[in-house]
Every structure is written in C-alpha cells, then in structure tokens.
Structure 1
Amino acid sequence: MDLLTLSLILLGVLFVCLALGLWVGFSLMVVGLTAMTLATPAPVGAVFATKAWAALNIWDLTALPMFIWMGEILFRSRLSSDLFTGLAPFTRRLPGGLLHVNILGCALFAAVSGSSAATTATVGRMSLPELRARGYDDRMAIGTLAGSGTFGFLIPPSIILIVYGAATEQSIARLFLAGVLPGLMLAAMFAGYTMFWAWRNRDRMPPPEPAVPWREKLRAAALLLPTVLLIVAVIGSIYGGLASPTEAAVVGVVGALLISGLSGGIDRKGAWDSLKGAAVTSCMIGFILVGAAFLTGAMGYTGIPRTLAAWIGDQGLSQYALLAALLLFFIVLGFFLDGISIVVLTVSVILPMVLAAGIDPIWFGIFLVLVVEMSQITPPVGFNLFVLQSITGRDIFTVARYAAPFFFLLVAATVILTLFPEIALWLPSTMSAR
C-alpha cells in the first residue's frame, strides 16, 4: 500500500472516530492500531506498552495535576466576584468601560489557573450578568470574554506549555518565562481594540459611570491582593530559582486553599469537588498523551513522517514560509481538535523540521500556543465557545461570530511574534544569563 493511500485511510479513521464521539485519546489509539495493522508486523501490544510508559513516565508532568487542581480550587472560590469588584473601579472611565474587566480579569486568573476553559468560565459567570445589567453590547461582552479566555493557555502557569515542554524535553521554567511578555502583549492588543471599538460605536455603549473616589479604589485593590500574591508566589519562585515548576505548583495549591478557606469561598464539599475535577482533567490529558505517543510510534513504522519531512525539506522553504504553512495547518487542525491534542499529536513530526530550519524550540512553543489559542474560539470544537454557549444560551456559531475580531488579533499577534522573536526569548535569556 502506498503512503498516500495509507495517509488517507488513517485520516478517515480519525475523523470517523471523532464524529462518533469517541474520546480524543481513544481515537488516537484506534488510528495507531490501524496504522500498525496495515503497515507493519510488529507486535502491537509491546509497542503500545512501551510508548504508554514513556509518555507518562516524565517527571515534569507531575506539575500538571497540581496546577489543574489549583485552577479547580480557585474556580470554586469567590475569586471571580473579587476580580470584578476589584477591577471595576479602575476600568469604568476607560474607553470601553467595564469590558476591560473581561480582559484584565482573564489575564489575572490565567496567571493562577493555566486553563483556558476554567478562565473563561470563572470570569464569565460573574462579568456577563453585570455587563448585561449595565447595558453593555452583548456582542462585545461575549467577544472580549471568548478572546481573553484564551490567555489561560499562554500566561504561565500554562498547562499546555507543561505538555509541550514534556513532549519536547524543553525547560518548563523557560517556557513559562517565554509566555509572559507575549501574554501581556496580547492583553494590550485586546484592550486597544476594545477602546477603538468603543470610540467608533459610542451609540452602543452605556452612559459613562461616575468617577470613583480613591478610597473606594484602594478598598477594591485590596480584593486583588490575594490573587497578586499567589501569582508572585508561583511565578516568582520559579523565576527566582527558589522552586522548580513542580514545587511551585504545590505552592500554588497551598496558596489557593488558603485564599479560598480564609475568604470563606470554599467548603469541604467544594474542596472535594475540586480534587475530583482535577483528577478527571488530568486523566483526560493522560489518555491523550498515551494515544498520541502510540500513534507517533505507529506512524514511525509507516514512514509517513520521514517522507513528509523529506518532502518539506526538498521544497527549500524559508523560516517565514515554513511558519506560514504551519500557521494554516494548525488553524485547520483547530477546527477539529482541542489544543492539547493538537500539540501532542503533531509536535514529534513538526519539531525536527522546525529545528532543521534554525527556529528556537522555546520560541516555537509560544508560537504554537498562540496558534492553538485560535482553536479555542473556532467552531465546531472550540472549548471556549462551548463554555460561553452554556453561560449565555447563544448557539456556538453566534458566539464564534462575536469572537471573530479576537481571532484575527491572535493571528496578528502571531505575525508580530514571528517578526520580533525577542518578545518571547528575552525573559528566558535573562534567566539563562544568571
């Protein structure tokens, strides 16, 4: 059987499995099994066992369930209401007003969560009712939240950066640092667009709210202090060399429990639910990692990755041409797969080409995460769209239409990062110089 026919068969099997609703991890296993059955007499069981063990026996992955648990704890706490109350006095006089609470609130929660869906749900369940009650345009209220919710993938501690680092054997601490400035840049781009939209559409904005006395602003800022301290404890301990990402994750869990317990925002049932939620999410990611590892091994037997890499190499593409092709490739994948699946499924095939083109793997990790963020707000498998559909009652394609301007801002951010790679590499280089 020629490689083109085999590739088409495997793609067909993958899409059939996904269309039938089979979990992504198991879908990847079925495709791997099909590939090995058609292409090689090698023992499937032995290959699966070896690849599954190698995929999960990685020390860096121990940080993953802890960061997920930290996000689950904060999701069930009073943090969302504190974020809205704390940020509102500082944003109500800006062009765009309280729409900026979505952007800043998502940026802050992303810095203590690591999950895009959790960020969207936590900020959205508090901000959307408040914005609607004040007469803000529903299109922008939902759009800013959908776009800003993707910060959970980029701003550290990012779950997907941990997965990428483990899959490519890159330093997770350096990846975390590389995500800081691009995350801030993206937040500034979203805020700038919101101001521009508000200036152009003054008739769709509610009347300006009265100025807030400084005493009230200081009282509101105090509500943000626990979140800021938790960010400093987690990210600061990594950047200062005091803790590894895994140790910092434990610090984050302890801090989240203290914040939630002292504020009265979580009880014993909530703590138990957060632990169960973290276990379910961690197991889901584990299944995806195992399925992708098995599929990667099976694809090695077929020879498809080697042929593909050789074909791309023969094209003589420049760095920019290669990245443009990968951008389109990942956007198309994002229509059908979630972010973590995209990373673990493609990185073993793509990374050798990237390294051969002279592209820094730390920088490429941030580039990949930016592209994967787009998949969060593209139908039919955009997780942020599903979250907002459940919160707002709007259909998924309506939410996607509202989020479209922020999709194009993500594309623009990717182009800027490509033209100015130091945006991602400056902080990691300062850590290496120490």
Structure 2
Amino acid sequence: MDPLVLGGLVALFTIAVLFSGVSVALGLLIVSGGFLVVFDGMRSLELMPEIFFGKLNSFALLSIPMFIIMGASIASTRAGADLYEALERWLTRVPGGLVVSNLGACALFSAMSGSSPATCAAIGKMGIPEMRKRGYPDGVAAGSIAAGGTLGILIPPSVTMIVYGIATETSIGRLFLAGVIPGLLLVSLFMAWSIYATVKSGNAQVLTKSVYTWKQKFEILPRVIPFIVIIIGVLYAMYGGIATPSETAAVGALLCIVIAVVIYRLWSPAGLWMILRDSTRESVMILFIIGAAGVFSYMLSSLFITQSIAEWIGTLEVNRWVLMGAVNVFLLIAGFFLPPVAVILMAAPILLPIITIAGFDPIWFAVILTINMEIGLISPPVGLNLYVINGIAPDISLKTILTGSLPFVACMVIAIIILCFFPGLATWLPDYVMGTAT
C-alpha cells in the first residue's frame, strides 16, 4: 500500500479511537499495535515494550515531575492570591488596572506553576468576583482569566517546551529562552486589549475607588518576591552553566516546597502528601503519553509514513508560507480536541521534517506551535480553561466566557503573525545567551 494512503488511514483510525473516549496514551498504543500487526506481523509487538520504555530512558525527562512538583507546591498555597493582591495594589490607578493586574498575576503564577487550570483557579477565585463587583463586564472578567491561564505553557519554565524538546531532540534551554519575548508580547497584547475594552465599556472610573498607601504597597511584596527569585534563580542556574535543566528543576521544586512550608505554614502532612500525590498523577499521565507517542512515532517511521509525507511536501511547488498556514490550521484543529502534550508528541515527528525542509527554524516553530496550543485551551469543544472558569463562576454562561475569550484569541493570532514577520523575537534571545545554533 502507498505510504501516503496508509498515512491517511492511520490518521482516520487515530481520530476514531481518540474520539471513542479512551485515554490519549492508550489510544496511541492501540493504533500503533494494530497497524504494526497488520503490516509487519505479530513479531512487531515484541518491540513495543522496548520502544515504550526506551523513550522514557532520558535524563531530561526528570525535569517534568520536578517542575510539576514546583507548580503543585505553589498552587497549594495562597501564592496566587498574594500575586493578585500585590499587582492590584500597584496598578489600581491604571485604566483597566484590575484586569491588567489579573493578567500580570496569571503570567507570574503560570510561569511558576506551568499549569493553565491551576492558574485559572488560583487567580480566578479572587479576580473574577472582584472585577464583577467593580462593574467590569462578565465577558472581560472571565475571558481575561481564561486567556491569562494559557501563558504557562509558553513562559518558562514550561513543561510543554520540555516535551517538544524531547520529542524533537531540541535544546530545552533554547526553547525556554525562545518563549520569553513572545510570552511578554502576548501579555502586552492581552493588557492592551483589556485597557481598550475597559475604557470602551465606560468602566474605567471604577478603578479610582481603591487607594493604597506606599506602606500597603510594599508590605505585600515579601510574600511575592521569594517566588520571583526562584524563577530568576532557576533560569540563571540553567543558562549560567551551573546545572542542567533536570538538576535545576529539582532544586526549584525543593525551594518551592520549603517556601510553601516556611512562608505559608504548610505544615500538614496531608497537605504535603496531596502535593506529591497530584504531582505523581500528572507526571505519570504525561510520561505515559510520551512512551506511547514513542511507539506511535516508531510505527509511522517503520511503515515509511513520516518519510513519505516529508518527501511529498518537499516536491510540492507551493510558497513555504502557504505551507506554514496549512500547518497552523492543522495545529489549531488538533488543539481544539487534544491536550497540548498529546498534539506535540503526535505531530512533532511528522511536522519537524516538513518545516525543516521548508527552511523554518525548529526553535521558532516551537513558539508558533505553543501559541496554537494556547488557542486550543480557550476554544470549544474541549477548551479546558473555559470549563475551569465556568466552575469558578457558574452563573457566567459558557457562551459569555467564550465570547469574552475571543478577543484574546485574536491577540494570539496577531502574535503569530508578528512572529512570522519578525522571527527574531523568538530566536534572538537563545542565540544571544547560548550562541548561534550550528
């Protein structure tokens, strides 16, 4: 059978299996095993365990559970509330300042936790009721938190970037640095829209009601600064050549637990156990998907599907930006239905040869891919962040939350367009800090 036709069959069967309700990892194993048996015989199943565990035999993977523990320890404290309150005190006089404060808190919290749902829950529990109380439209209040929560998969340290680095054998350090400027760009676009929407709605005057003294502004900082210092310390240790990403993640996780215990009095063994339990559960889920995706990639390569697709794309006489547009549409659709980790692990083996042949930088493409995944987090039907916000504020309809999120989706699309015109926004910092990639 022609490999391209076979690739189409694999795509159809994969979609059907995943839509049947089975987990992503199990679905990938079912599809991989089925096609290997049909086209390579029963003996091919003997290789599946070796490939599965071989994919997990990487020191870099240790950084995933460590960063997850780091985020879980922060999410279990009042760190989110403190971040929100600190920024609210400092930005209260800015037009749209409360929304800007929430977005800033989301950016900082998501950078520490790396979890979109945790960010939405931590910041939204305080931010949404306060914004609504001060007269902000429900759509702006809910949409800003839903969009702000997505920043965690772009701003370093990012578990999504780690997964991309492992799947494509790309430098994780470079990927982290590549997300910094685009992350700040997205935050700026979100804030600009929030200020505009607030002024346009006529609610800018509500921001003058809260006046804080300089003492009140500074007294909240000691609770926030330690976490910011940890982020800076983690990045410095990584890029200063002091430690590897895995070692840095372990130290960061330990320091976050210590801060949770010392500053937030998380003395309870039950609380510490919950951090470890939740972190283990999420880590195992991600690692299970990584192992299954390794088997899936082996199946695609063994049946010459990946090679044939890359070769076919290389023979097409189309503008490379048309090709990139098609790739973005594919990523958007995939992100509507699957979590970012699954999309990256499934698509990277196929897309990486394509974008390389077309002359695109894999580091730059990682940022484009990640922003597409952010759009999926606030887009139906799966849109996890939409349901988290609805759980926090059940009296705000999903339609209102979605409507409020759409302008932020437009901001993400604008960010992708800007990055296409100015790819150096993603590649300059990695090249400056770590030297030009060879």
What corresponds to 1:160 in structure 2? 160
RMSD: 2.0
> How far apart are residue 242 of structure 1 and its match?
1.8
> How far apart are residue 13 of structure 1 and its match?
2.9
> How far apart are residue 223 of structure 1 and its match?
3.1
C-alpha contact 2:139 2:400 (8 A) present in aligned 1: no
Once the two structures are superposed, the pairs formed by residues 59-74 of structure 1 within 5 Å of their partners are 59-74=59-74
What corresponds to 2:311 in structure 1? 310
> How far apart are residue 428 of structure 1 and its match?
0.9
SS at match of 2:378: coil
Identity %: 35
Please, which of 402, 405, 413 is the counterpart of residue 403 of structure 1? Answer: 405
What corresponds to 2:420 in structure 1? 418
Runs of 5+ unmatched residues, structure 2:
none
Letter matched to residue 407 of structure 1: V
Letter matched to residue 426 of structure 2: A
Cα deviation per residue 1:331-376 (whole Å; 9 max; x = unaligned)? Answer: 0111211101000001011101111222222222112111111111
Distance change >3 Å, CA 147–CA 278, structure 1 → 2:
same
What corresponds to 2:122 in structure 1? 122
What corresponds to 1:37 in structure 2? 37
2:264 paired with 1:276: no
> How far apart are residue 4 of structure 1 and its match?
6.1
Aligned-partner Cα distance in 1 for 2:250–2:101: 29
Letter matched to residue 401 of structure 1: T
Distance change >3 Å, CA 3–CA 186, structure 1 → 2:
same
C-alpha contact 1:96 1:205 (8 A) present in aligned 2: no
What corresponds to 2:296 in structure 1? 295
Cα deviation per residue 1:230-256 (whole Å; 9 max; x = unaligned)? Answer: 212212221222222111111211221
Distance change >3 Å, CA 298–CA 205, structure 1 → 2:
farther
Aligned-partner Cα distance in 1 for 2:332–2:388: 20
SS at match of 1:112: helix
Compute the TM-score of the two structures, normalised by the length of structure 1: 0.94
Letter matched to residue 343 of structure 2: I
C-alpha contact 1:149 1:384 (8 A) present in aligned 2: yes
Distance change >3 Å, CA 404–CA 213, structure 1 → 2:
same
Aligned-partner Cα distance in 2 for 1:157–1:3: 38
Cα deviation per residue 1:175-221 (whole Å; 9 max; x = unaligned)? Answer: 11111111111101100111111121115874632432222212233
SS at match of 1:381: coil
Distance change >3 Å, CA 346–CA 205, structure 1 → 2:
farther
Distance change >3 Å, CA 377–CA 238, structure 1 → 2:
same
Cα deviation per residue 1:146-181 (whole Å; 9 max; x = unaligned)? Answer: 111111000000000011111111111111111111
Aligned-partner Cα distance in 1 for 2:44–2:366: 31
2:227 paired with 1:220: no
Letter matched to residue 283 of structure 1: V
SS at match of 1:211: coil
Aligned-partner Cα distance in 1 for 2:176–2:109: 15
Could you tell which deviates more after superposition, 10-19 or 412-421? 10-19
Cα deviation per residue 1:311-343 (whole Å; 9 max; x = unaligned)? Answer: 221213333222211111100111211101000
What corresponds to 1:331 in structure 2? 332
C-alpha contact 2:364 2:426 (8 A) present in aligned 1: yes
Could you tell which deviates more after superposition, 110-119 or 331-340? 110-119
Could you tell which deviates more after superposition, 8-17 or 120-129? 8-17
Compute the TM-score of the two structures, normalised by the length of structure 2: 0.93
Aligned-partner Cα distance in 2 for 1:221–1:46: 57
Aligned-partner Cα distance in 2 for 1:183–1:315: 33
2:194 paired with 1:200: no
Letter matched to residue 68 of structure 1: I
Cα deviation per residue 1:247-295 (whole Å; 9 max; x = unaligned)? Answer: 1111211221122112235232111101011110011111111221111
Distance change >3 Å, CA 42–CA 332, structure 1 → 2:
same
What corresponds to 1:209 in structure 2? 209
Cα deviation per residue 1:285-311 (whole Å; 9 max; x = unaligned)? Answer: 111112211111112233332332222
Aligned-partner Cα distance in 2 for 1:152–1:169: 22
Aligned-partner Cα distance in 1 for 2:52–2:123: 36
C-alpha contact 1:379 1:397 (8 A) present in aligned 2: no
Distance change >3 Å, CA 92–CA 203, structure 1 → 2:
closer
C-alpha contact 1:338 1:382 (8 A) present in aligned 2: no
